[in-house]
Chain A
Amino acid sequence: MKPWLPVLGVAALAPLAWQAAIWIFAPPPALLPSPALVAGVLWSERRELAGHTLVTLGEAVGGYALANLLALGLAFLFYRLRTAEAVLAPWLVVAKNIPFPALASILVVLLGDTLAPKLVVVVLVTFFPILANVSQGLRSADPVLVDRLRTLHATPGQIFRKVAWPAALPAYFAAHEIAFTGSIIAAIAAEWLFAQRGLGYLIVHATTQFRTDRLFAVTLIASALAIAAYGLVRLAAARVLRWRRL
């Protein structure tokens, strides 16, 4: 069976199940709008939705790029300097677990209504899975291969390039599967807290306008973005890690 068939099957069946639930349970539209109503919003407000989606994507990708820089830098530092990991790791766990809604008012006071607080939230949410996976991946390098390269007088840089980094790549891509999709949700959450553009802002706006149909439309877009992000990571992994299937 083609791998995309089940995905398409679920995508086709979901609106039918949704409509069936409405027929059977008759919930008020304030709780569950019909698929037709939501589809109507997606079509009639497509330009506005596209504009807000681009804003969210920009924040997600920008924050995610920063998270990668930070996480890869720290992972490399930990690889070369075990003491740094012992000193910093507990504090990174603390930073990762700060509930960012608690930081919201501080971030707005310090950074204003700019791109910066949204990037901070995306980085906070996404950097740790990358750091943890890459650190683990670098440590999992085959010690026999490392010793052999050392015997051959390879430099630390050569050992990193030839053994440690390739060993870390599968874990790095596994981290992307979690963190890249998470970056979109993080950007939306940040906008929900303090933005005037983006899908998170639209959620707040739809809520205050009692537009459940618009709320569901935004949710569908966010889900589509997350699926696309996941697919891109899988695609990139299939290309980069093709040696694993040899």
Chain B
Amino acid sequence: MRARPLSSFGRRFAATCALLATLALAGCARDAPPAAVAAAPEPFAATLARVQAVLPAKHYVNNDYLPAAGAPVPAWTEKRRIRVGLPWLLNDEEAPWFVADSQGFFAAAGLEVELLPGGPGKNYLAQLAARTIDIGVINMSTHVAKFVASPTGADVVIVGAILRRTPEVILALDAAVPSDQPSARPLTARDLVGRRIGIETTSQYLVEAVFERAGLPKDSATLVRVTTVDALVHGRVQAVIAWIVNQPRLLEDAGYRNWHALRLADLGWEDYADVSVVRPDLLDFDPQLVRRYLWALRQAVEFMLDHPAEAAAITRRRATDAALSETQIRRRFELQEPLIVAGDRANLLRVDPAALDRTAAHLVRAGILALPAAPRR
């Protein structure tokens, strides 16, 4: 049987498809460019110098608006309404903002604050750039560096951080300890060799950095894109990237007290979490507003540190996206206190730009951060 010839449209469509497919395959099949003579890896100091030249953290971090310990409320004459984008859904991560609101610290600073929940799909850095919020609370300072460096980013400034040491850990269950008992043995990089580790999309570099610092090959473990503790409990993975203030608590609630962790902060990884970010023009035109916000936030953090039971009760009422008991919230407070204080309670919320430059240099070397050709400003 003879097939009927294609119509004019059919011939054109088929020809276009064939052409596109040929081009695509040709593009894929093209040989890799000849390997250059293997260059010696750039020394860390050289990468750091490049970061400081085109993406210096002093351009996107400013501590000048932070209140000193015991400082009085900044002067204000006009009550202001502001919109603050929070780092996640309304759970106990947002405790400082709930406390600042419920204890009247925002009101004392003349602020009426609308707290907007964060979570999947919410990009408060983009919303800052689009001027739909006044302050964005971003869960990791490295995100801010990436945003400032991105060709589709914008200028923004970190003005304070809740967690001044990174909460990031690699978390595992200690098989040598019964599940109803806590493990006293810290997890080490050697424990992870040959294991399957659950990671987030772009956290592969953290695992590689851990192995590198332990003098082990970067590919010493198999990485799987999953970060739920279920995968850990069911043995699909033997370790996961996690936040020390969060997943260990979930494991304990599920009856697994035998968790142990490798804390990235202990390896010298410098990162800040839950950072408050503003547009530079707000600092230029209304710096007092930022001072008032940071004063209220600091009072809230001090209150959490001094009165954890009351802060937990407030948080339980306000954390409407998570059914948490006060005991669970107190456990988080306990785990996060050393990260908030960072050995220096006088300097709560303060961010060290030099530390962020070093972290940015690590990200550049890991291929996670592409430096812009020139600084934004």
Is A17 close to B, CB under 8 A?
no
Interface residues in B128-175 (C-beta closer than 8 Å to A): 129-130, 143, 146-147, 150-154
Segment of B9-17, B296-304, B352-360 engaged in the interface with chain A: B9-17
Is B116 close to A, CB under 8 A?
A: no
B10 neighbours in A (Cβ, 8 Å):
235, 238-239
Our pick among B13, B123, B150, B201 for the contact of A201 (Cβ within 8 Å) is B201
B366 → chain A, closest Cβ, in Å?
13
**Quick one: given A204-B201, A228-B17, are A33 and B152 in contact (CB under 8 Å)?**
yes
A50 touches B (CB below 8 Å): yes
Interface string of B284-295 (1 = CB under 8 A from A): 000000000000
Sort chain B's interface into a size bin: 35 or more
Any chain B CB within 8 A of the CB of A3? yes
Contact with B along A87-118 (1 / 0, CB 8 A): 00000000000000000010011001100000
Digitize A213-246: 1 where CB-to-B-CB distance is under 8 Å, 0 elsewhere: 1000000000000001001101100110010000
Binds A, one of B20-28, B73-81, B207-215, B260-268: B20-28
- From A22-30, A66-74, A137-145, A160-168, give the one contacting chain B: A22-30
Q: Are B230 and A105 in contact (CB under 8 A)?
A: yes
Q: How many residues of A contact B (CB 8 A)?
A: 42
Residue B319, interface by CB 8 Å: no
A208 pairs with B202, CB closer than 8 A: yes
Q: Could you say which of B143, B150, B152 has the most chain A C-beta atoms within 10 Å of its C-beta?
A: B152
Instruction: Given A4-B12, A29-B152, A238-B10, answer yes or no on A54-B130 (Cβ-Cβ < 8 Å).
Output: no
Knowing A201-B201, A210-B125, the reply to whether A30 touches B17 (Cβ < 8 A) is no
A207–B228 Cα gap in the complex (Å)? Answer: 20
Residues of B within 8 A of A31 (CB): 126, 129-130
B376 in the interface (beta carbon within 8 A): no
Contacts of B143 in A (CB 8 A): 208, 210
Whether A30 touches B126, Cβ cut-off 8 Å, given contacts A194-B225, A194-B226, A231-B17, is yes
Residues of B within 8 A of A109 (CB): 226, 228, 230-231, 234, 236
Chain B residues in 8 Å Cβ range of A50: 24, 27-28
The smallest beta-carbon distance between A39 and chain B, in angstroms, is 13
Q: Of B10, B123, B225, which is in contact with the most chain A CB atoms at under 10 Å from its CB? A: B225
A59 → chain B closest CB, angstroms: 15
Residues from chain A with a CB closer than 8 A to the CB of B89 are: none
A30 partner, pick from B3, B8, B129, B234, beta carbons under 8 A: B129
In terms of DSSP, what is the predominant structure of the interface of chain A? helix
Contact present for B202 and A209 (CB under 8 Å): yes
Q: Which residues of A contact B6 (CB under 8 A)?
A: 235, 238-239
- Chain A residue contacts of B108, Cβ below 8 A: none
B154-A30 in contact (CB<8A): yes
B151 cross-chain contacts in A, Cβ below 8 A: 29, 33, 37, 211, 213
Q: Which interface residue of A109, A194, A205 has the most chain B CB atoms within 10 A? A: A109
What CA separation (Å) do A242 and B13 show in the bound complex?
A: 17
User: In the assembled complex, which residues on chain B have CB atoms less than 8 Å from the CB atom of A235?
Assistant: 6, 10, 13-14
> CB-CB < 8 A to A195: which residues of B?
225
Question: Contact flags (1/0) for A168-198 with B, using CB distance below 8 Å?
Answer: 0000000000000000000000000011100
B377 within 8 A of A: no
Residue among A30, A47, A109, A228 facing the most chain B CB atoms (10 A cut-off): A30
Give bound CA distance, A99 to B176, whole Å: 39
Does B307 lie at the interface of the complex (its beta carbon under 8 Å from any beta carbon of A)?
no
Q: Which residues of B contact A108 (CB under 8 A)?
A: 224-226, 231, 236
Are B224 and A210 in contact (CB-based, < 8 A)? no
Q: Which of chain B's residues have a CB closer than 8 A to the CB of A105?
A: 226, 228, 230-231
CB distance from B155 to the nearest CB of A (A): 10
Instruction: State in angstroms the CA–CA spacing of A207 and B17 once bound together.
Output: 30
Decide yes or no whether A212 CB sits under 8 A from chain B: yes
Contact call A30/B24, Cβ cutoff below 8 A: no
Is the beta-carbon distance between A209 and B150 smaller than 8 angstroms?
Answer: yes
A224 shortest CB reach to chain B, Å = 8
Contacts A50-B28, A235-B14 given; indicate if A213 touches B152 (C-beta within 8 A). yes
CA distance A54 to B225 in the complex (A): 20
Bound state CA distance, A228 and B18, in angstroms?
Answer: 11
Q: Which residue on chain B has the smallest CB distance to residue A105?
A: B228
Beyond the given pairs A108-B226, A208-B143, 17 more chain A to chain B contacts, judged by CB atoms under 8 angstroms and listed by A's residue number, are: A4-B12, A4-B13, A27-B130, A29-B154, A31-B126, A31-B130, A54-B24, A112-B236, A113-B224, A195-B225, A210-B123, A210-B147, A212-B126, A213-B151, A213-B152, A231-B17, A235-B10
Query: Can you give 12 contacting A-B residue pairs, CB < 8 Å?
Result: A30-B150, A31-B129, A46-B27, A50-B27, A54-B28, A112-B236, A194-B225, A194-B226, A196-B223, A208-B143, A211-B151, A238-B6
10 cross-chain pairs, A with B, having the tightest CB-CB distances, nearest first: A30-B126, A28-B129, A212-B152, A29-B152, A210-B150, A113-B224, A210-B147, A204-B201, A50-B28, A30-B129
